[in-house]
Chain A
Amino acid sequence: MRVNIFAAMAAISAASAAAGEAGEVLLTVTGRVAEAPVELTRADLEALPQRSLITATTVTDGRPEFEGFLMRDLLEHLGAEGDSVVALALNDYRAEIPVSDFEDYDVLGALTMDGAQLSPRDKGPVWIVYPRDDHRELQDIRYDMRWVWQLVSLHVK
């Protein structure tokens, strides 16, 4: 899997100069989904219902507006059956997230921040964003560590 991801990263990197290209694979989903592995392009992700969310984060100032898809919409769309997902980032950061988080809260797979596409040179291409300002219990390090940025792969367990 490590090799697959590396390949995916390479693919992203290859097209990084043209980050907006629709054919480029942004996210690979493996594990308990209908037809694993699933490779999703920006067009695929943008085809999901788009939602916006304004929230403060622990690493930026102000309250940026994020736009993207709901994580639960993505999992439903892929027919995922599992209790948790392991989110893996471009920089090898990994965090296990219970699926119940996506059911209880409107957790976003953000593609843009303040109207600009998230770049791999910042937190892109995908940043898992929790509605931190709307729920006090989310203002906690145990949730902060699930805000995986530079998300490239999800493994459904």
Chain B
Amino acid sequence: MLKFTDEHEWLKIEGDVATVGITAHAAEQLGDLVFVELPEAGTALDKGATAATVESVKAASDVYCPLDGEIVESNQAIVDDPSLVNSDPQGAGWFFKLKLSDPSAANALLDEAAYKELIA
């Protein structure tokens, strides 16, 4: 199941684990990323809490946790090479995997059509 937030994150949900990243639209708006800071595995986060920080040449931006849960894995590849987020935001440029406290809460997020409408 693929879901989106109005904060321009995508979630690929398999069972009770969501792989989370930022959308191609967000990556384009941010521009060339030069730094990514990710949460450590084991960190419990509430929906809306700051989960990650990304920096472009020009500015820093926060990435928010899309649902309540616990971080189970972070993508070291984008820490080592932040440009992966620009080149493949919805693939190799994923940010972290989140074990959802309540997987059914994902139903309230945007589907792809609704997200496309949001950024149109």
State yes or no: do A and B come from one complex: no
A interface list, Cβ under 8 A from B: none
